[in-house]
Structure 1
Amino acid sequence: MSARGLFIREARLAFAGGGGPAGPAAFYLAALALAPLAIGPDAAILAAAGPGVIVFGALLASLQGAERMFADDASDGTLELYALSGLPLSACALIKALAYTLAAFWPAPVIAGMGALAYGLSLEAALALAAGIALAAPGLVFIAAFAGALAAGLRRAGLIIALIAAPLQAPLLVFAAGAARAAMDGTGLTGANLMLALAFSLAAMVLAPLGAGAALRARLE
């Protein structure tokens, strides 16, 4: 199987099995809509809590498809075919995570920006938060994919994936929310936070497939 063929297959599966972007987007929107019920109606509190709530919602949405990313491959023999295809398992993991990001997780920055405005943030802060989520999104998904590879085929894999992925995703959330808070406070650190989010996301895109490939290889052995 070629890299291009695998990418097309995974993108189609993201739509056929998980509804494409509809599932993560609906989950993200529901999380943002329900959070004010706990926070309360005070506009100042909503604006202050907005960046943290919105980035945490992105974390939860990124975990939604992580269990499905490798579980079926491990149970139906597809993983063995990947090992025989000539592509390194780390390359297969990279392609699967990239396909999922582009097929299913692309609405996240748009939802983040709209949610920021709904929570009472300024337009500048909303744009900064949307940019932060856009830069953090690949890293969030790739880390979730790594956790999914580690937990592939295990019982209660969803809980295990969350326990593995959430601590590793936390720096991305800090930088994305920090960009919005810097825009709100006028500290001039918006660009620095965005660059840190991009750097961490790129590091995750390099390292997570290597870890996922090692986990899948260990499962085959």
Structure 2
Amino acid sequence: MTPAWGALLRTSWIALYHPLKWVEWGWKYGDVHVLRGAVQMLFVIAGLSEACAMIVGGIVGHRLSRYTKGMDGLHGTAHFAEREDVDKTGFIDALGHKADGVIVGSVMLDSKGKVIHPHHPKFQGRYESITTRGTWRERFRKIPKRDGNKRPMFRIAKKVVKKVELLRDGGNTHLFGFCQPFGQGRWHGDSDIADLAPLGHGQRPEGGGLRPVCGFSPSGGPGHHQVRACWH
């Protein structure tokens, strides 16, 4: 090597050149028969170096993208619950656990067991319209079936929703609910029930025994012929 090659740093046994010098050398000396082999070797070394740099950069970038320690809450941690999040609540059946208690909701699962929440790609297709055959006015085409309030009726799309799991809360919690006058079902735990049905006070058969019932009438006033109850 000679100083004409433009070395940035030269010692008695090594020389440091600009990284793009090999392009200049290939352009200048690529047609020189004596140097053709050396120039081709430069191109091979440069290509391999570039490939190795891309592979190493990709590996490093992938590892850095997974390195989130201390950064989980940088932009907030709120998200729609996945199945593992729901499982942590104890509201669904799991291996060695049977969920029991009052039904507080449900989750839809796809074929892979993923929760179908608003960020799920098939969220919009979780329901399908219930159709019926129209009359001659609709040319006997399929039209949406409607309920008594003239609203279209829908059902779960079985192609999207493979399973619906009920969420049951049987923990040490307080529940406050309003039920329709019939078909309330039964609750096995302790409860205070305000029943709007005019049954008066006394006892009511429930679960094979008798439960005390007090009439709730704060406006009944003193001296009323029935024992009444009021809440403060």
TM-score normalised to structure 2 length = 0.20
Structure with a larger share of its residues in strand: 2
Higher relative contact order (CA 8 A, sep 6+): 1
Structure having the higher Rg: 2
Structure with a larger share of its residues in helix: 1
